[in-house]
């Protein structure tokens, strides 16, 4: 059963390759959804897929960008199935 993860990252997360790394990582794990910069300086991420793959995604993002992330808020829910791939939104 697929899950949805919705996260907000804050800190120095703009201009460090966060969105592009998130897109590559999510795509490599077969996750669908999107990532985008918010005007308030945070990054928003929505991922759908297997729970274990989403957890691996979160770990990889944390390992690469842990020094830039000040706070992370993650919510879990049921997958909607509305995404066909993972992309960067502008």
- Token match 């909607």: residue? 80
Q: Which residues are known catalytic residues? A: 19, 37
Q: Cα(50)–Cα(42) distance, rounded to whole angstroms? A: 25
The radius of gyration of the chain from alpha carbons, rounded to an integer in Å, stands at 12
Q: What is the pLDDT of residues 13-63, one digit of tens each?
A: 999 999 999 999 999 999 999 999 999 999 999 999 999 999 999 999 999
Query: If pLDDT is split at 50, 70 and 90, which confidence band does 78 have?
Result: very high
Say yes or no to pLDDT of 69 above 90: yes
- pLDDT score recorded for residue 7: 98
pTM: 0.96
Domains of the chain: 3-80 (3.30.70.100)
Give the max Cα distance, the chain: 35
Alpha-carbon separation of residue 44 from 1, 8, 22, 39 (angstroms): 23, 5, 11, 11
Q: Cα(79)–Cα(56) distance, rounded to whole angstroms? A: 17
């Amino acid at each position: 059963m697929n899950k949805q993860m919705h996260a907000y990252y804050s800190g120095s997360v703009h201009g460090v390759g966060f969105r592009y790394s998130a897109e590559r990582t999510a795509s490599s794990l077969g996750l669908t959804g999107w990532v985008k910069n918010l005007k308030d300086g945070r990054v928003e991420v929505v991922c759908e897929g297997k729970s274990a793959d989403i957890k691996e995604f979160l770990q990889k993002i944390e390992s690469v960008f842990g020094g830039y992330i000040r706070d992370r808020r993650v919510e879990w829910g049921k997958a909607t199935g509305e995404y066909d791939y993972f992309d960067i939104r502008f």
